[in-house]
Amino acid sequence: MEVFKNPKWRLGIVFFAIFLLYGTAAFARLAYYSDYFSFVGQDEQGWVAFALDTNRGQDGDAYQAEHFIAFFVEGRGWVQLEGSDS
């Protein structure tokens, strides 16, 4: 085929083959997950707002996690909660 006689095409095909063999295996090992939950409500004491943002990642056998928590109470302000990366 004429395409394979062109040195630029041959080089491109080689790089593409390397990517298929090695690049996709690296991407398959990476995973990222994110969850978000929020709540706003009120009772006889006033308004509250709560938000939880959780991010988790996996790179092969290595795992990472990050949690961001925001909590607001009317009349008290922002409340620092233990376990938040904020």
Query: What is the per-residue pLDDT across 44-72, written as a single tens digit (0 to 9) for each?
Result: 999 999 999 999 998 878 888 888 999 99
Contact between 32 and 57 under an 8 Å Cβ cutoff? The reply is yes
Edge to edge, the sheet with strand 30-43 lists 30-43, 46-59, 62-73, 77-79
In a domain, 50, yes or no: yes
Q: Which residue has the higher pLDDT, 15 or 27?
A: 15
What is the rounded distance in angstroms from the CA atom of residue 34 to the CA atom of residue 16? Answer: 31
Helix ranges, 7-63 (H): 7-18, 24-28
Give the DSSP H or E segment for 37. Answer: strand 30-43
How many domains are there within the chain? 1
- To the question of pTM greater than 0.85 for the whole model, the response is no
Contact between 51 and 69 under an 8 Å Cβ cutoff? The reply is yes
In a domain, 84, yes or no: no
In a domain, 14, yes or no: yes
In a domain, 24, yes or no: yes
In a domain, 51, yes or no: yes
Q: Which domain holds residue 27?
A: 2-79
